[in-house]
Structure 1
Amino acid sequence: MGFLELFTVASFPVIKVLIVTAIGLFLALDNINLLGKDARNQTNHLVHYVFNPALIGGSLAETVTFENVVLLWFMPVNILITFLLGSALGWILIILTRPPKNIEGLIVGVCSAGNLGNLPIIIIPAICKDKGSPFGDPDVCYQYGMAYASLSMAIGAIFIWTYVYNIMRISSSKVQKEGNKSSDSITFEASRDVSESFTEEGSSDTINAVKGNVDDSYILLLSKNESEQKIKGHILYKMKYQCGMIFSNPNFRGIFSPATLGAIVGFTIGVVPKLNGLMIGSNAPLHVIEDSASMLGDAAVPTITLIMGANLLKGLKGASTPFWTIIGIIVVRYILLPIFGILIVKGATHLGLVQVDPLYQFILLLQYALPPAMSIGTIAQLFGAGESECSIIMLWTYALASIAVTLWSTYFMLLVA
């Protein structure tokens, strides 16, 4: 197939995404307000807890078997490489552009974490169903493409909520500590000036009174500490406390997010023959469960796209972000990372580390050419560091994704077809 034919195949999915994204943006306008802040939050929860797990679990259960699990081992490695390369390029960008301290973690985050789930889940089915698709039979392409994209989403979610989350947490905590130090020094100077204004008369009486209070308090504290040590020493209390700390940790919640749990369930059903025979296929006794999951999963793609457009509205109202920082992020995500991705994937294929499946190789390459993950905005909001700047970065990177993703998708199809 020629370049123009492949360009047409690659452009149609992106155009579809742009149309639905524009509808989501329109519905979020203040005059319309069908996807206002509260509606977006509720819909995001619905997608996060219901649609995505159903889509991921159903897709993996239908396509993953014990035999082809071994063939997919390179995808987690490939995604890890995208994160490490992106974060390294992000730090170089920080050194070159010297942005404000409060958005350094955000810059590393958007450079390292791509939209590994939502966009592949939208783009792959559209490419497979197109008449000019280079990936063969549309039904087979769709079935395996959705499994690859679902696996990409699940693995990407784990890396985002462990790797990127902690980078942004450490960065924001450093900024807060520096702010606290400056405010503490101001408070210390003020308190020293006030203390010097006191006369020395009556100071001994005050010291004696304080001593008496300290002695009484010391006795009370001893008894209180002894009782607290007895409580903490109890085995059940310790177990309850540790479990509470683990389950409340955002890293744990990120690793075992609904998308990840859906992937685990889908893998289990696909790999275990007895479970697969019970649920997968029109003759399976419990196929109604798989049909229900597929029906819920079908709602994920349009809903995700609408919400993605609605979330971009915040970028139109956001604060200013350094111009060269935005340019640097665009260069990292749409020029440098795809070039590195071609070298890595083609090198791994040459060494026999990647199976000779054009669709699988295409998805591996596509993972290097995607805009930043929308979850970055959630993490920025969580730490209150660079939320407005994140909206502007998302607006520009997703606006340019229509051109970049189309061109790179066309070139990737030329490489693997």
Structure 2
Amino acid sequence: MDFWKLFIVALLPVLKVLLITAVGTILAINRLNILGETARKNLNTMVFYVFSPTLVCSSLAETITLENVLILWFMPVNILLTFVIGSVLGLLVVKLTRVPHHLQGLVLGCCAAGNLGNLPIILVPAVCKQSGSPFGDVNVCYKNALAYASLSMALGSVYIWSYAYNLVRLYSPKISNEVKVDDNSVVENPVSTTKSDPENPSTFSTELPFVSADDRSQTEDHVKHFEIQCTGHNGQVEEVSKNRTIMNHLIILVQKVNLKVLFTPSTIGAIIGLIIGVVPQFRKLLVGDNATLRVVEDSVIMVGYACIPVMTLLVGANLIKGLNGLGKQLPLIIGVTMVRCIVLPAIGIGVVKGVVRLGLIHPDPLYEFLLLLQFALPPAVAMSTITQLFGAGEGECSVIMLATYSCAAVSVTLWSTFYMWLVL
């Protein structure tokens, strides 16, 4: 394929996303008000609890087998690297642009979390369908592309809802009645209040996110009791080993950690999907045309297909709130756009080509192309859903999405074209 054909193939998926985003914006204008504030919040909740978990579960169950897991072992590591490197670059943006505290989670999340779902699952298989595909036989290429992109989408969803979700959660005004530290290093615990929370619609504690107030008081009592035991009895402190002290504190921490925060619905969906895909008995029962419970999988797939268009529509709907603040947050927007569209894709070349030279992954141009592409994607549309859930930087997130996806129409296209040339 020549340059212009590669360019068109790479451009179409981005244009599809922009068109659906525009529809969401139109549906949210005051005259129509189809996607008003209440509707957006309800749809965000549906995405979080229903659409995203079912999409991840069905994609993994259909395309991942034990053999695939062994071959594609580097993809989770590669996605983790995109998040880690993106977070470091995001910290630089935060420092350089002096981002307000309540927006820092948004900036870090947008720099770290790329659109690992709908763009790869549209773009990569589309390359295979083109006449004269550079990746060999059309049917084999399409099947592999779908498997690679599905795994990327599932892993991306797990990372986004486990990492980016908690970043925004930590910096959200609803969560962080910030812990204040005075000159004497005295830490005041924030007062527990009741607010709305996507994980618990009725209550929400503004305490530190992983430990509740009751758990913290129990922990403090336990520590005080432990200190009394250690310092009493004629100063027999030396009898208590340091290792045991550390172990006791670790046990207390593990007991008090709120696992509900870590295991989001999408994470649970990914675990279930992996189990179904990898365990032959479950796969035979649920996956395939001859499966006994095929109807169950078909139902889950139907529900999951709603995730991508709904999230993309919500991005467009949220633009209404953000367009007025475009000038106020211009340095922030430029910083995030440069990270996602220029710096991170360039770093990705060094990471992936270095791994290929070391022989750590199997030689497959299509697989290498997807690994490179994961560094060049605009922010995940789920960031819009997450900010809506916590009410933290919804308008700013919308403007960031508008800016990055507008630039992505060019940057993703150019980087994709260059990546194809690089791996072939």
Counterpart of 1:22?
Answer: 22
Q: With structure 2 as the length reference, what TM-score do the two structures score? A: 0.73
Query: Whole-Å Cα distance in 1 between the matches of residues 154 and 316 of structure 2?
Result: 22
The equivalent position to 1:256 in structure 2, one of 227, 252, 263, is: 263
Query: What are the residue-to-residue correspondences of 1:64-103 with 2, within 5 Å?
Result: 64-103=64-103
Partner of 2:311: 304
The aligned residue for residue 335 of structure 1 is 342
- State how far apart, in whole Å, the 1-side matches of 2:394 and 2:27 are: 22
1:286-340, Cα deviation, whole Å (9 max, x unpaired): 2222233333333333333323322333322447534233222211111110000
The answer to whether the 8 Å contact 2:277/2:283 transfers is yes
Is the 1:366–1:412 contact (alpha carbons within 8 Å) kept by the matching residues of 2?
yes
1:275 corresponds to which letter in structure 2?
Answer: F
| CA separation of 1:124 and 1:245: change in aligned 2, threshold 3 A | farther
1:45 aligns with 2:45: yes
Report the alpha carbon displacement of residue 378 of structure 1 after superposing the two structures with TM.
4.8
Residue 416 of structure 1: aligned partner: 423
Deviates more, 1:382-391 or 1:395-404: 382-391
Using the TM superposition, give the Cα deviation of residue 379 of structure 1 relative to its aligned residue in structure 2, in angstroms: 4.7
Q: Contact 1:157/1:254 (CA < 8 Å) preserved in 2?
A: no
Q: Is the 8 A contact 2:24 2:315 kept in 1?
A: yes
Is the Cα–Cα contact under 8 Å of residues 9 and 127 in structure 1 kept in the other structure? yes
Q: Supply the distance in 1 between the matched residues of 2:114 and 2:337 (Cα, whole angstroms).
A: 12
Kept in 1: contact 2:44–2:388 (CA 8 A): no
Q: Secondary structure at the match of 1:150?
A: helix
Residue of structure 2 equivalent to 1:275: 282
Whole-angstrom CA distance in 2 between matches of 1:310 and 1:9? 27
Contact 1:14–1:402 (8 Å) recurs in 2? yes
Q: 1:314 aligns with which of 316, 321, 337?
A: 321
Distance in 2 (CA, whole Å) between partners of 1:122 and 1:46 is 23
Contact 2:311 2:382 in 1 (8 A): no
Q: Is 1:25–1:309's contact at 8 Å kept on the other side of the alignment?
A: yes
| Alignment equivalent of 2:293, drawn from 277, 283, 286 | 286
User: Aligned pair in 2 of structure 1 residues 21, 164: CA closer, same or farther (>3 Å)?
Assistant: closer
Call closer, same or farther: CA 1:46–1:145 in 2, change over 3 Å.
Answer: farther
Q: Is contact 1:56-1:147 (8 Å) kept?
A: no
Q: Deviation of residue 162 (structure 1)?
A: 4.2
**Identical residues among aligned pairs (%):** 54
Q: Give the root-mean-square deviation of aligned CA atoms.
A: 3.4
Change in Cα spacing, 1:146 to 1:36, as seen in structure 2 (3 Å) is: farther
Post-superposition offset of 1:411: 1.6
CA–CA distance in 1 between the matches of 2:180 and 2:5? 56
Q: Could you tell me whether the CA contact under 8 Å between 1:151 and 1:263 is conserved in 2?
A: no
Counterpart for residue 227 of structure 2: none
Does structure 2 conserve the Cα–Cα contact (< 8 Å) formed by 1:118 and 1:304? no
Give the corresponding residue for 2:3. 3
Specify whether residues 133 and 14 from structure 1 end up closer, same or farther in structure 2 by C-alpha distance, changes over 3 A only: farther
Alignment partner, residue 345 of structure 1: 352
Show the 5 A alignment for 1:13-412.
13-131=13-131, 133-168=133-168, 176-177=177-178, 249=258, 252-253=259-260, 255-318=262-325, 320-380=327-387, 385-412=392-419
**By how many angstroms is 1:53 displaced?**
2.8
Q: 2:17 aligns to what SS in structure 1?
A: helix
Structure 1: 5+ residue runs without aligned partners?
Answer: 183-224, 230-241
Q: Is the 8 A contact 1:109 1:168 kept in 2?
A: yes
**What's the secondary structure of 1:312's corresponding residue?**
helix
| Matched residue, 1:198 | none
Secondary structure of 1:371's aligned partner: coil
Q: Which of 65-74 and 144-153 deviates more?
A: 144-153
Give per-residue Cα distances to partners, 1:357-399, cap 9 Å, x unaligned. 2332222111111122234345545665544333322221122
- Cα distance in 2 for residues equivalent to 1:385 and 1:398: 21
User: Do the aligned residues in 1 keep the contact of 2:172 with 2:390 (CA within 8 Å)?
Assistant: yes
Contact map agreement 1:116 1:153 (CA 8 A) in 2:
yes
Q: Which amino acid aligns with 2:69?
A: V
Return 5+ residue gaps in structure 2 as ranges: 184-216, 222-252
Q: Tell me the equivalent position of 1:12.
A: 12
Distance in 1 separating the partners of 2:29 and 2:263 = 34
> Quick one: which amino acid aligns to residue 56 of structure 1?
V
Contact 1:59 1:143 in 2 (8 A): no
Conservation of the 8 A alpha-carbon contact between 1:48 and 1:258: yes
**Counterpart residue type for residue 72 of structure 1:** L
Number of residue-to-residue matches in the alignment: 358
Supply the AA of the counterpart residue of 1:77.
V
Paired residue type of 2:333? I
After superposition, the Cα gap between the structure-2 partners of 1:255 and 1:82, relative to the gap in structure 1 and judged at 3 Å, is same
Residue identity matched to 1:104: Q
Aligned-partner Cα distance in 1 for 2:19–2:165: 31
In structure 1, give the amino acid aligned to 2:378: P
Spell out, residue by residue over 1:231-260, the C-alpha distance to the aligned partner (whole angstroms, 9 max, x if none). xxxxxxxxxxx99965xx4xx445432322
